[in-house]
Amino acid sequence: MRILYHLPLSPYSRKVRLALGEKRLPFELKMERVWERRPDYLAHNPAGTVPMLVEETGLAIPDSWVICEYLEEAYPDTPLLGRTLAERVEVRRLVVWFDEKFGNEVTRNLLNEKVMKRISGRGNPDGGALRAGYANIRFHLSYIDWLAETRQWMAGNMLSLADFAAASHLSCLDFIDDIAWDSAPAAKDWYARIKSRPCFRSLLQDRVSGMTPPAHYADLDF
């Protein structure tokens, strides 16, 4: 069986789970406590990050970007990167935007401080980081709201990896109730559409010990 090493609240792992689910590729999830730096894991992925996918053939594929490009080449049915060259530029631009810019400016400041630090035993959230995260999320949420207002899906007319990248970050932050959905009605509407797809179900069932997500987290008509 195909194995995906992951952490429940890793947006990069979630993006890959959504891509695998949408492409109907069965896989087994294994939790990898990256902070333990397991030598066997590092041998396959020296960067020591999750996600990493291991195919039944034994091929190990680290990094969500590398995995998603691989999936698109190995399993081209249900394309997730767009069809024309221009569409593919826009999909990938937004994937980088969410994974890098949103990731550094928002997710790192809020999720890593509040959750990753605690579960890996690295102490309390830093106040400056939290303040930066809350300031940045407003700008980012209004950009997503604008995209959702002007397009059917994040990158245009088709559901793509850009939607999965955005929804992965947002779903992790929604778990800790850090999204002011009412300030971004078009984004909320788009997120409700993404959330009701079958591939999203397993994400919404993740539980992290000692943490309770808000009631609307797993509610499909929130």
Ligand X SMILES: N[C@@H](CCC(=O)N[C@@H](CS)C(=O)NCC(=O)O)C(=O)O
Q: Which residues bind a copy of itself (CB under 8 A)?
A: 46-47, 59, 61-63, 65-66, 69-70, 73-74, 85-86, 88-89, 92-93, 96-97, 100-101, 143
**Residue 34, contacted partner among ligand X, a copy of itself, none, CB below 5-8 A by kind:** ligand X
Residues 6+ apart with CB under 8 A from 50: 5, 6, 7, 10, 12, 13, 32, 34
State the binding partner of 12 from a copy of itself, ligand X, none, CB within 5 to 8 A by kind: ligand X
- Phi–psi pair at 12, nearest 5 degrees: -70, -35
Residue 65: CB minimum distance to a copy of itself, A: 6
> Is position 45 an interface residue for ligand X (rule: CB under 6 A)?
no
Min dist CB 117 to ligand X, Å, is 12
Give the one entry of ligand X, a copy of itself, none that residue 86 binds, where binding means its C-beta sits below a cut-off of 5 to 8 angstroms depending on kind: a copy of itself
DSSP code of 51? P
Site string for ligand X, 2-41 (x = CB under 6 A): -----x--x-x---------------------x-------
Enumerate binding residues for ligand X (CB under 6 A). Answer: 7, 10, 12, 34, 48-51, 63-65, 96, 99-100
